[in-house]
Every structure is written in structure tokens, then in C-alpha cells.
Amino acid sequence: MLLQAVVQWVGDTHQNTSTSVSVPIRAASGPISLIAYGTAPGARRRRRRRPLVESTGTASRPRSEATPPRQEHTIATSDYSARHLSVLEGLEAVRKRPGMYIGSTDSRGLMHCLWEIIDNSVDEALGGHGDAIDVVLHADDSVEVRDTARGIPVDIEPKTGLTGVEVVFTKLHAGGKFGGGSYASSGGLHGVGASVVNALSERLDVEVDRNGKTYAMSFRRGEPGTFADEGEPTPDAPFTPFVSGSVLREVGKVKKAVTGTRIRYWADRQIFTRGASFQPDELFGRARQTAFLIPGLSLRIRDERPGSLTDGGFPLESTFRFEGGISEFVEFLAPDTALTETWRMTGTGTYTETVPVLTSTGAMVATELDRECEVDIALRWGSGYETVFRSYVNIIATPKGGSHQAGFEAGLLKFLRQQVEQNARRLKVGTDKIEKDDVLAGLTAVLTVRLPEPQFEGQTKEILGTPAVRAIVANVVAARFAELFASPKRDDKAQTAVVLDKVVAEMKSRIAARAHKETQRRKNALENSSLPAKLVDCRSNDVANSELFIVEGDSALGTAKLARNSEFQALLPIRGKILNVQKASVSDMLSNVECASIIQVLGAGSGRSFDLDTARYGKVIIMSDADVDGAHIRTLLLTLFFRYMRPMIEEGRVFAAVPPLHRVVVVHAGSKPNETIYTYSEDELKKVLAGLKRSGKKYQDPIQRYKGLGEMDAEQLATTTMDRHGRMLRRVKVDDAEAAARVFELLMGNDVAPRKEFIIDGAGLSRDRIDV
């Protein structure tokens, strides 16, 4: 076999130069990674060091000892020959350069090794072999992966003369994913997973159920042998390597139909950094994702390590199994209320590809192959504008997309653009064209494609590069949507109409937002002519310290002007109840004077164009009366912020002022000034009055009851509602805004039945509970 040796010339440290050349080396058998070091021409002569491993021209078993740190050899160019080449044989190259295979030796590398083992079991399940995978993080820092798949082959591999188990765990680029007969599609392509994990493990035990028997084999740092365990297995047990040939032990019998593989290994702490540890949240999260992608697969994760915790809310033993597959995945991912049901679209396509194929003689021959690509899509539209899209190739996540995602977007945009043009009169669309963002707004979708030997861009498998997949996915999307839009069913017709309405609404929103965007941005806080004249701005340009009070009515505005701190508190009065944006269109919302004023003053845009970083104020405080009308106004404002300026709520920058309901004046005898107590509910007032009576204190009667903010003088308003040291504010959370939106949908939405039920249930409400 002709192998390539990479010979790196390391120059004088002052020259800081290096070159590399390829040298063909013929070896007897086995994969050999060969690295040699020498001095560049003209460099100073240095003391020659003994090579790490002497080249013999034949493959040998890896050493069981830990590999020492790398040593570089420097030799004079006049004395350089093949005897100076260092040969790293078999798995020794993995231990020498682990970063080349797993990326790093910290926690990420440790998790990479674990996923290499798990993915082998997942690939079996992907091919329809086995429906259960168990992963156990043991208390002794070992990890065990069990599956019910076909089991690693135990017969002899003809080229090496070794059992299939030993080939899988000791030979790089060996496995069932190269010849093309064992896997139609696979998440692992490189064939180095199990062998790399074995090389980087202090101990690895494997058991295989196959042919009615249980077979076992153990390894120490990649070398096969036996451990003399006394009780529980441990990497510290005495180890005896095989001297001549390896032995796959028969350790038990099982029923003929029982198959599967169990692998337990202890990561080599001589390789991995001191702080490297298994990450339970990553493990649980990716296991759940995998179970969504393979319907019927049960993935059970158990963490037995003492003191282990998860940040993602997972119990330390969780089982993931989803019969609905990616349809359930869409429901899990969706961030909003559904406008359509979750549609499932599947299809296949074929293409021809010229690839190098490994023949039985070991030669690589360029061969033209017919490929098949399976497409599976689940999607639905929701009431929001956020797009949630996940794409996968053979269950490998492709977060940066690729040809499959491009095909999905192109097919969807082309079809819906045609539908909008055909329904232009009903949709009241002019010459404007919908764009990709209009179609994707509110869409939650999961796209999976399965194909043999996919091409990825780069080493991270984040972008699918196979060109033919684009057209296949686009055709499947167009065909399935054509069937859906042509369906005579009433529900299908209603839901497809909803999709077109939403897409057109998003288009109009985008156009309106583009037209208003520049006028909404703050260039000069005090001189921006586009700001409403009724805005009473503050003097400070410090956004983080500034506050915008949205005040109900002009009467409260007059008092608030005197009560505020004009340095950092701005005031914006609104006239009564603003538009209910729950039912209004985006254009109607932007045409409403009060809504437009709030968006303009805040200066950060609305909807998808909202940019929190350009907001002109650090806090928005809704200051309304403490009565039913005030609560109604506050709810309308919360709905506006929730639907069109949600990041303000998500970042905790929207507040509701809590003004008092009562003012109790405690009368003191003599020259001592009277004391003022504010209460915020009827129950609190009763407790205060009862306390005053018990202590024998007098108070002015009748108690002042504030019907609105306009009844307060400036000092009272400042003390109770505006002064930072004495006021009471309630931070608005997303849950509060969602509740407000639900109430408005119930009371003012298009669905009559829930509203009727609500009115009937509330008919018996006590009038005493209504604060008028």
C-alpha cells in the first residue's frame, strides 16, 4: 500500500519559516500515519534526538503506555535519509495528535467522543435496526452506551484477518459506511469514531449480542487484551495484552433474535484537560432532538455522577421517544399560537453523481452512481413573526443551511408568490411582490433530507453542499403545496387562505416599516422634528438612565410636568383608549395617531424591524388611573408592546406604575405635623384604619379616595408614583402581556363561542368586586 508521509521542515527559530513536502512510502500492511521533522536548508545544526518510533516498514500494535510530549528532530540537510523519518503506526497517531480527530481535549472533545459512539447506534436506528439506545454516565466517570441494533460483526474481516470488532475499534477509516452496502444514509461518514474513542480511552470494554451468543473484548489505550478485574471493572485493574493474535471471548448466550452492542469506556485523563467533563445539558438536549428525528426510537439518558445538575430543567434520568417525529418537533419548537395545523410533506428525487468508489481490490475508481434523496418536511404558520427553522441531513444538524434549505425557501417563495398574484384582487395587492421574509414570518418548520454520502462545505458539517438536493427539495415543496391548495376540503381552503392573508400582511408591514424606519430613529433627542409636539422630553441623553412615562389624558399631564424630574423623565400623553391592535391590521395600527406616536417617540421601530439598541429611553412606565378605565388602557398598551415591541418586555424595560387608591391623614395633637399614609387596596385600608383605632390615633374623615391621577397634586404624585425613592412599579413580564393578549382575543376576537361562554360564566359576578 502506498502511503503519504508528511515531512515538515522546521527552520531556524530566527528565520521562522517552514515548508512541507510529500514523500511516498511503501508499507507492508495497515494504515500508518507518518510524520518526520528536519532542518530547512541553511539552518543551524542542532543536536539530533532519538525518534519517537523507529520506522520498520511494517505495521505494529500501538503501545499501551501513554505517549510522551512531542519532540521535534533537527538534522543537517547533508545527513537526511529515510532512517530519520518517524512513523506513528495505527492508533498511536490519534494519541499523538488528538486535536486532529476530536477538535480539542477539553469538554468539547470529551463530548465529541461520546457522540461518536452514540451516533453509531443512531445510524443503526436510522437504517431501521434497533429502537432503543441507553446512555449511562457512571459514578466512576466512565460512560456506557447500549443499543438493540444488529451488533458489531464478529466474523473475520478477510483483508486484516481480524474480527469485525477489532477492526472497528483499532483501524482508522474502517466501518460499514464506505462500501455502500450496509447503510443507505448515515450521520457518520469518516469511519474513525469508535477507533478514535478507543485510542483516547484508558480502558474500553465492548460486548456484542449476535448469533445467539454474547462476545466481549477489552482494550487499554487502544491495545486489545484482558483485564483481571476483581469486582467492578476499573481501568486500574491488571492488564495483559494479547501477544500473538487477538481473542474475541464468548461470555454468554442469548436468544437468537437478541442483538445489540454495549460499549463502556473510561476517557484517558492523560489526554484530556483537567477540567474536561461530560455536559449533561448538551447530552439531554441532543438526545431529545435525535428522538424527534427518528420516530419510535427510545433514547434513555441516566446521569449517576454525584452532584450532577442540569441547567435545562432535565431530570437526571430522562427517556425521549416521539412517535410523531418531526411533526411533534414543530409543535415543540413553535413560539406562538398556531394559525394552521402542522402540515407534513414528503417526497423523493433522484440524481446522478460521479464519485470515487472503493473496489474489492482496494483501488479507487471514479464511478457514476444513481442517488436517491428522501425529503421530509413538517411546518406550520403561527400568529407571531418569528421564524423557527431547523434543517438536518441524515439527522446531522445543519445550522447554517445549505442546498436543502435553499431549495425549501426557493420552492416555497415561488409557489406562494404565484398564489398571491392569482388572488391579487381578494388580497388587495398592487404591484408589490412578496419576499422571502414575508413568507417565513411566523413559520416554524423542520426539514430533513436523507441521502448517501452527502457533501458538506468545510469540516464542521454545518452546510450541505450537494447541489442536486436544491432542485429536489424545491420540487417536493411545490408539488405538496399544489396538492394542499387544490384540496376541496373546507378546512384546507380556510387554512390556505389564512396563509395568503398572513403573507400579504407581512409584506404590507415590511413596506410600511421601511417607510417609517428613518423617522423612528433617534438622531438628536432634542431636535428631531419628527417627534410628536405633545412629547415633553427630558434633558439627558443618557438612554440607560432615562424614563418615558405614558400618561393618561391632559389633566394628568399637567400635574406630572410639575412632579417629574425633568433631567431624566419624559412624558407622553395619550388621549383615552388607544386602538385595540389585537384585531387591527399593521397598516391600521401605524395609521392610529396614539400608536404611531408611541412608536415614534420610542424610536426603535416595530415588528420585525424593532431594534432595541436604538430605543431612546431605558424604561417605559405606563401611568394610568387606578380604576377600570385605567386598567383597560394599561391592557391595550401592553398588547401594543407585546405584538410590535416585544423585546422591550423581554428585556424587562416596560413597567406599570402603581398609584395609591387612598390617602389617610393621621392627625397629631399639638405642633407635630400630620402624617400621611397611602394605601393601594381596600384590604390594606381596612388594616391601616384598624391599626390606628387600636393605637388610639385620629385620622381625617372621610378618607380621600383617588378616582384618577388628576386628583393628586404634584407633591403627592411625585411621592407616590414618580420619585424613584418612594414609588411603586410593577415590571411587566412576557406572561403578563400574553395574558392581556389572550383576554383581548377572547373578548374582541373573531371566535364567538368562547366569548359567549365567558359572559355566561361571569353573569353571577358580584357588583361589589367591580371598581368603578
Long-range Cβ contact pairs of 134-138 (< 8 A, separation 24 or more): 134/300, 134/302, 135/283, 135/287, 135/299, 135/300, 135/301, 135/302, 136/302, 136/304, 137/278, 137/280, 137/283, 137/302, 137/303, 137/304, 137/305, 137/308, 138/264, 138/304, 138/305
Pairing relation of β-strands 2-10 and 32-38?
parallel
Q: Coil, strand, or helix at residue 344?
A: strand
To which H or E segment does residue 194 belong?
A: helix 193-199
Assess whether 629 carries a catalytic annotation.
yes
Catalytic residue among 89, 119, 438, 625: 625
Residue 260's closest CA among 76, 121, 141? 121
Catalytic residue among 202, 303, 438, 552: 552
Assess whether 683 carries a catalytic annotation.
no
Residue 566's closest CA among 536, 545, 541? 536
Catalytic residue among 144, 336, 353, 629: 629
Full DSSP string of 490-502: HHHHHHHHHHHHH
Assess whether 613 carries a catalytic annotation.
no
Assess whether 527 carries a catalytic annotation.
no
Q: Which residues face 449 on adjacent strands? A: 375, 393
Neighbours of 566 (CB within 10 A): 14
Q: Are 453 and 189 in contact (CB under 8 A)?
A: yes
Residue 36 has, within 13 A of its CA and on its CB side, a CA count of: 25
Catalytic residue among 106, 627, 650, 711: 627
Q: Coil, strand, or helix at residue 301?
A: strand
Between vectors from CA 106 to CA 100 and to CA 109, what angle results, nearest 5°?
Answer: 50
Composition of the chain by helix, strand, coil, percent to 5: 35, 25, 40
d(CA 556, CA 711): 8
d(CA 131, CA 295): 9
Length of the chain: 772
Cell numbers representing residue 266 in the block:
473510561
Report the side by side order of strands in the sheet with 569-574: 569-574, 547-552, 619-623, 654-657, 729-731
To which H or E segment does residue 410 belong?
A: helix 403-422
Active-site positions read 552, 625, 627, 629
